[in-house]
Amino acid sequence: MIVMKFGGTSVESAQALERISGIVAGRLDRKPLVVVSAMGKTTDRLVAMARAIEVGDLAAALAELNKMADHHLREALPAAADERRAGLETFLKGTFEHMDKMLRVYPLGQRLSAAETDLLLSFGERLSSTIVAEAFYRCGFHAVGLDSRTAIKTDASHGAAQLLVDETAAALAEHVVPHMEHSVVVMGGFIASTVDGVTTTFGRGGSDYSAAIVGAALGAEEVQIWTDVDGVMTADPSLVADAHRLKIMSFGEASELAYFGARVLHPATMAPALEKNIPIRVLNSRRPENEGTLIVVEAPQNALVKSIAYKEGITIVDVRSTRMLMAHGYLARLFAAFERFKTSVDMVATSEVSVSLTVDRTDRLDEIIAELKGVADVERRDGNAIVCVVGDGIRYTPGVSAKIFSALDGILIEMVSVGASRRNISFVVDENDLEEVVRRLHKAFFSDVDKEVFA
């Protein structure tokens, strides 16, 4: 069997739903299980609802809900079979009425709890899994829309839930496997629940992770990630018009790209597949004839660099204090502040009396800085970007850094990091320089490519 995950743009409209129905229909002999994201911009709308409630603007929250409802009714109903359209409409309208009541109950002007946020965000995938199953029925094959919260179990770390492997295996065996012999099971990605049934999520982009979890637990021959691009590219095609598609790459390379901003895969996707040695293939739902990118444990080492990733919206935090000099425990205290406020750090550079680090979430940064100012001088610098050059060949080839910085002559580099895996070199630049940086690096490394690795 195979697991086929379709992202938000692959299920965003009636036309898209018809397209993926044909894709799945052509692979029924491989016993597909389908995992779907929320339709289009649905999760963004749900996040906007939560923020509107938190600032006390119920009208804005309800306006976002109405936009979400209009989009789903407009695009989902034409995708359903004539005789089942009324039932789908009743389900959709009932769900939106329930959400309306939820929004009106939340205390205005207060931050939603993490559990409340997870519950609100879960509606996108709960809706899309039902809608996609109906689209499949119209295409002529039987499908079952299944609530992933019954089949994937996690701890109660809301917003970044940790998988419970044994409990999930048991739940999948009970709730999913019995349907697979005669139906295509459609599950929402991103969402799960505790063993007590409380809704949890894996965080934004977690649908890829859900697909890998299911694939690993059920022993899939392949996990397919269907997106709106031809596969993993040598750079973002919106910045580099002549970017190449990678035909094959390693899990390690794909993981580095995912962590440092490549938009094709979620960072956590690799782990379950790597553990079970299940290949992942990245494909384009708009061009299903394209072979995409195959991600395996070991890939051919006939290319120095495989891709250039970037992450925007980066803030540098500079921490300086003479107390660091010859002092043990100082760094532990510094990072404990980030841990207390649940803020992840991307890059770190240290000297005898200073630490510079980067974050991409700043919602708790003021609180962190206030705490650190008790022991150090702290400065934040917004408007930066991390650029990451990735390739297994970096580990074995001298002079890669020289080639990078020669290409970037005249551009200010704020921080530099060589990953512990030695398969990436990352650095921070001003966001205003980002496009120029990516284009220069692409020209330096991909002007002449190996056709066995790149298309």
Q: Is the pLDDT assigned to residue 44 strictly greater than 70? A: yes
The CA-atom distances, in angstroms, between 153 and each of 214, 222, 228 are: 11, 22, 29
Q: Is the pLDDT assigned to residue 259 strictly greater than 80? A: no
Residue ranges per domain, the chain? 2-227, 307-446
d(CA 24, CA 31): 10
Q: Output the six-digit token pair for 64.
A: 């976002």
State residue 324's pLDDT score: 57
Do residues 86 and 78 lie in contact, with contact meaning Cβ atoms separated by under 8 Å? no
**Average pLDDT of the segment spanning 420-425:** 76
Q: Output the six-digit token pair for 266.
A: 């979620």
pLDDT digits (tens, 9 = 90+) for 375-412: 788 999 999 999 999 988 887 788 888 999 999 999 99
d(CA 143, CA 136): 6
Do residues 341 and 364 lie in contact, with contact meaning Cβ atoms separated by under 8 Å? yes
Q: Beta-carbon neighbour count of residue 406 at 10 Å?
A: 11
Do residues 453 and 303 lie in contact, with contact meaning Cβ atoms separated by under 8 Å? yes
Identical fold between 2-227 and 307-446: no
Full-model pTM = 0.85
**Average pLDDT of the segment spanning 53-74:** 97
Q: Output the six-digit token pair for 38.
A: 């929320």
Strands lying side by side in the sheet with 280-284: 143-146, 184-188, 32-36, 2-6, 222-227, 280-284, 293-296, 248-250
Sign of the Cα torsion 133, 168, 266, 368 reads positive
d(CA 148, CA 45): 21
Do residues 191 and 199 lie in contact, with contact meaning Cβ atoms separated by under 8 Å? yes
**Average pLDDT of the segment spanning 325-338:** 75
The CATH class of 2-227 is alpha beta
**Average pLDDT of the segment spanning 173-194:** 96
Residue 95 host element (H or E): helix 85-105
State residue 263's pLDDT score: 65
Determine the CATH number of domain 307-446.
Answer: 3.30.2130.10
Helices first, then strands: H and E counts in the chain: 15, 16
